[in-house]
């Protein structure tokens, strides 16, 4: 079997709740979708978040580069194809749109592999089908406390036992006000994660952690800029609240450095920043060696397969954004999800 062609396009989908964070506002999400076609009629699909049309065009250019490079090669040799992409982009760098494209191609090739062998990806990886608890991440952006309570009620009715709220408002007292309202409403029956989206300085984070100490947060995510590793390590060491990071870290080596520096108690790698499935297979043993609790940032329909081989899996982030891309999206029922039993990832674009 040989790779024949790539088909890719930009798709914008609506969101359940407007995205309002310290770094962005959006009422729709932009994706680039990819379908790799082979000469035997088997195709594999993947996607990445592109943020806007300008970034999407950049991803297109890298995908075109990979398409020309890979035509006529064996799609089942996923490690070989991954190394080719890595080598051919040494002079470009392995972050940003290059990382997005590498990851997209790799995921699509694994989808081809699953369909060729007529097995779901979790099986090919050596895992078993499991049911995973999720946390609701669609809402609780930087909204007022009344809206936050309204959204939390919807999530609880849907069966979620964990939710993520956002912090990083200009007035930090408003962050506390929303968290306090949620705790008053739900007590400790609801696990609450808080994500700052890199919105504080180190000193602000230190002050806020003291303020948040009594609210029993499950974790505090990305309180400061991702690349401030020494500051992360200090916060993680001194804080009674567990620190979480990982979604904006590119590549296996960089996450390994974070693990060694103990920058966080939880890691949430992002599939389009770590090199896809093959990147995960390189990263997972490092995390396991250090017994690091881990889950994925977004990509729930892929994460349920990949986490089947990881022993220290945390709750999976449930974000419904990508569901709009597929004819039969993965379903989250009573706050839990399971992988598809269909060959590959079991996904087909609309």
- Chain centroid to Cα 227, Å, comes to 18
Measured between alpha carbons, how far is 242 from 94 in angstroms, rounded to an integer? 29
Residue 218 lies in a domain: yes
> What pLDDT shows up at residue 143?
98
Q: Do 112 and 133 belong to one domain?
A: no
Tell me the two tokens of residue 90: 């040494």
* Structural domain total, the chain: 2
Q: How far apart are the first and last CA of the chain?
A: 26
> What pLDDT shows up at residue 324?
96
> pLDDT tens, 200-211?
999 999 999 999
Counts for the chain of helices (H) and strands (E), in that order: 12, 11
35 pLDDT band, cuts 50/70/90, is very high
Residue 343 lies in a domain: no
- Mean pLDDT across the stretch 228-248? 97
Q: Do 208 and 158 belong to one domain?
A: yes
> pLDDT tens, 54-109?
999 999 999 999 999 999 999 999 999 999 999 999 999 999 999 999 999 999 99
- Mean pLDDT across the stretch 274-280? 98
- CB-count burial class (<10 Å; 0-12, 13-18, 19+) for 268: buried
Q: Do 139 and 88 belong to one domain?
A: no
Q: Do 216 and 72 belong to one domain?
A: no
CA proximity to 175, closest of 217, 206, 210, 145: 145
Residue 346 lies in a domain: no
Residue 208 lies in a domain: yes
Question: Which of 118, 139, 168 is a domain's end point?
Answer: 118
Q: Do 109 and 180 belong to one domain?
A: no
> What pLDDT shows up at residue 269?
98
Question: Which of 78, 97, 118 is a domain's end point?
Answer: 118
**DSSP result, 158-189:** TT-SEEEEE---SSHHHHHHHHHHHHHHHTTS
Where residue 283 sits, what CATH number does that domain have?
3.20.20.120
Q: Do 103 and 176 belong to one domain?
A: no
**Residue 112, SS3 per DSSP:** helix
Residue 26 lies in a domain: yes
Measured between alpha carbons, how far is 233 from 255 in angstroms, rounded to an integer? 13
110 pLDDT band, cuts 50/70/90, is very high
Q: Do 25 and 38 belong to one domain?
A: yes
- Mean pLDDT across the stretch 149-178? 97
CA proximity to 268, closest of 260, 258, 278: 258
Q: What is the DSSP letter of 333?
A: B
Residues paired with residue 20 on neighbouring β-strands, in sequence order: 25
Name residues whose C-beta falls within 8 Å of residue 348's C-beta, 6 or more positions apart in sequence.
45, 326, 327, 328
Residue 84 lies in a domain: yes
Q: Do 27 and 140 belong to one domain?
A: no
Where residue 68 sits, what CATH number does that domain have?
3.30.390.10
Name residues whose C-beta falls within 8 Å of residue 108's C-beta, 6 or more positions apart in sequence.
34, 35, 36, 44, 45, 46
> What pLDDT shows up at residue 192?
98
Measured between alpha carbons, how far is 209 from 264 in angstroms, rounded to an integer? 14
Where in the sequence is the domain holding 128, given as residue range(s)?
123-337
Residue 348 lies in a domain: no
Rounded to the nearest integer, the mean pLDDT of the chain is 97
Name residues whose C-beta falls within 8 Å of residue 185's C-beta, 6 or more positions apart in sequence.
149, 152
> What pLDDT shows up at residue 213?
96
> What pLDDT shows up at residue 45?
98
- CB-count burial class (<10 Å; 0-12, 13-18, 19+) for 13: middle
> What pLDDT shows up at residue 235?
97
> pLDDT tens, 7-30?
999 999 999 999 999 999 999 999
Q: Do 43 and 140 belong to one domain?
A: no
Q: Do 85 and 127 belong to one domain?
A: no
Q: Do 171 and 204 belong to one domain?
A: yes
> pLDDT tens, 283-307?
999 999 999 999 999 999 999 999 9
Measured between alpha carbons, how far is 174 from 177 in angstroms, rounded to an integer? 5
Q: Do 33 and 67 belong to one domain?
A: yes
Measured between alpha carbons, how far is 328 from 346 in angstroms, rounded to an integer? 9
Residue 31 lies in a domain: yes
> pLDDT tens, 130-144?
999 999 999 999 999
Question: Which of 91, 118, 145 is a domain's end point?
Answer: 118
125 pLDDT band, cuts 50/70/90, is very high
């Amino acid at each position: 079997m040989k790779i024949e062609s790539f088909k890719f396009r930009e798709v914008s989908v609506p969101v359940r709740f407007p995205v309002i964070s310290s770094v962005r506002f959006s009422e729709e999400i932009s994706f680039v979708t990819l379908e790799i076609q082979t000469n035997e009629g088997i195709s594999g699909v993947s996607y990445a978040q592109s943020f806007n049309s300008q970034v999407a065009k950049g991803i297109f250019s890298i995908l075109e580069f990979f398409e020309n490079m890979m035509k006529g090669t064996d799609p089942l040799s996923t490690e070989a194809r991954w190394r080719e992409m890595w080598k051919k982009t040494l002079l470009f760098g392995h972050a940003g749109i290059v990382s997005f494209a590498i990851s997209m191609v790799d995921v699509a090739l694994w989808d081809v592999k699953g369909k060729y062998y007529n097995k779901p990806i979790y099986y090919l990886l050596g895992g078993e089908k499991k049911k995973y608890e999720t946390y609701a991440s669609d809402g609780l952006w930087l909204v007022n406390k009344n809206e936050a309570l309204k959204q939390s009620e919807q999530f609880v009715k849907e069966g979620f036992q964990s939710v993520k709220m956002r912090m990083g408002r200009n007035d930090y007292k408003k962050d506390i006000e929303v968290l306090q309202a949620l705790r008053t409403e739900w007590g400790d029956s609801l696990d609450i994660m808080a994500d700052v989206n890199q919105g504080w300085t180190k000193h602000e984070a230190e002050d806020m952690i003291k303020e948040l100490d009594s609210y029993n947060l499950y974790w505090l995510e990305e309180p400061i800029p991702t690349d401030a590793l020494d500051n992360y390590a200090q916060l993680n060491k001194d804080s009674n609240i567990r620190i979480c990071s990982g979604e904006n870290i590119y590549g296996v080596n960089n996450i390994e450095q974070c693990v060694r520096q103990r920058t966080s108690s939880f890691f949430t790698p992002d599939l389009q920043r770590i090199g896809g499935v093959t990147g995960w297979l390189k990263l997972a043993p490092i995390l396991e060696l250090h017994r690091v609790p881990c889950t994925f940032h977004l990509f729930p329909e892929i994460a349920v397969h990949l986490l089947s081989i990881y022993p220290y899996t945390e709750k999976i982030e449930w974000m419904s954004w990508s569901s709009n891309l597929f004819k039969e999206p993965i379903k989250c029922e009573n706050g839990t999800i399971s992988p598809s039993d269909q060959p590959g990832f079991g996904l087909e674009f609309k």
